[in-house]
Amino acid sequence: FKAACEEFFRNPSKYQRELRSLLTNRFELIG
Q: Where are the domains of the chain?
A: 1-31
- H helix runs in 1-31, sequence order: 2-10, 12-30
- Flag whether the pTM goes above 0.75: no
pLDDT of residue 31: 63
DSSP state of 1: -
Please state, in angstroms and rounded to a whole number, the distance separating the CA atoms of residues 31 and 29.
6
> Are 25 and 17 a contacting pair, CB within 8 Å?
no
pLDDT of residue 18: 84
pLDDT along the chain (31 residues), means of 10: 79 80 83 63
Burial 11-26, CB ≥16 within 10 A → b, else e: eeeeeeeeeeeeeeee
